[in-house]
Amino acid sequence: MEEKTLNIPNIGLGTWLISNDKVGNVVKDAIDLGYRHIDTAQAYGNEKGIGKALKEISIKREDLFITTKVKAEYKSYSKAKKSIDKSLKDLGVDYLDLVLIHSPEPWLVFRKTKRNWDKKNLEVWKALEDSYKEGKVKHIGVSNFRIKDLENILDNCEIKPIVNQVLAHIGKTPFELIKYCHDKNIIVEAYSPIAHGEADRINEVNEIAKKYNKSFAQICLRYCLQLGMIVLPKASSKEHLEANLDLNFEISEEDMEILKNAKLNTYGKSNIFPCFSQADKNDL
């Protein structure tokens, strides 16, 4: 099994739920502020908007780290391979820094079926490996994979996954999965690290934010960083983009323990997985 190393900025711009017509300005603002890590996905429907922005900036391509994800519904070698080529075209780049399998299961049946997707995921993984060998992709990994899903890849792959991007935030931190990944030298990226914007409903977060004179969002991001994860906060305004970079402080061990045990039992207004309703049944 071939292992790779990866030097990746530990704060990235998440672009989930930023529309294709608006994402370009957000990306340009983020890059102006110092972001060099941009995270998108085929399912987000905004790769073309990001690609347009990349053509309008002066930053060298090699100074940026661009991630996309193969649609969760694409569970065959050919569909995954073609989708990577399409992402390259839509983003207007010669290579992708990181490509992930977006989910071990299609969104429409995510965590709702007993069907085994192991063989299908290995087909997709082979497409990623071949795209890597062709120089189209610099690194490959997965997203939303549980331990058993990772074991399937690790037991059968030629190139080991370098990243697992997962939902992780105060009140919903997958500690066992994070430890497993770190033990296997797999980087963990935290998406929605501010709990879909709802971490301010957690009393402990607000109390500790006041103590450190920081926003609840900054406490959430710093928490994930101190657990050894890369964070991918989504923001649109320059104010929030800039604040999400201002993380040069340390949460004490005592306060980290409080945050590790904090609870967010239910989400309020947020639709956690909007990609689900957009999935194409014909791809299942």
C-alpha of 80 from chain center: 18
C-alpha of 30 from chain center: 17
Exposure pattern of 178-208 as b/e (b: 16+ CB <10 Å)? Answer: bebbeeeebbbbbbbbbbbbbbbbbebbeeb
Query: What amino acid occupies position 241?
Result: L
Burial class (CB in 10 A: 0-12, 13-18, 19+), 219: buried
Tokens encoding 196? 């879909």
Consecutive H or E run containing 185: none
74 is catalytic: no
Asked whether the beta carbons of 247 and 225 are under 8 A apart, the reply is yes
Half-sphere exposure of residue 284, counting CA atoms within 13 Å on the CB side? 14
Question: Diameter of the chain by CA atoms?
Answer: 53
Question: Can you point out the beta strands (E) in the chain?
Answer: 13-14, 37-39, 65-70, 98-101, 140-143, 163-167, 187-191, 230-232
Could you give phi then psi for residue 25, rounded to 5 degrees? -65, -35
**Which residues contact residue 116 at a Cβ distance below 8 angstroms, ignoring those fewer than 6 apart?**
none
The one catalytic residue in 44, 74, 191, 223 is: 44
Kindly list the catalytic residues.
44
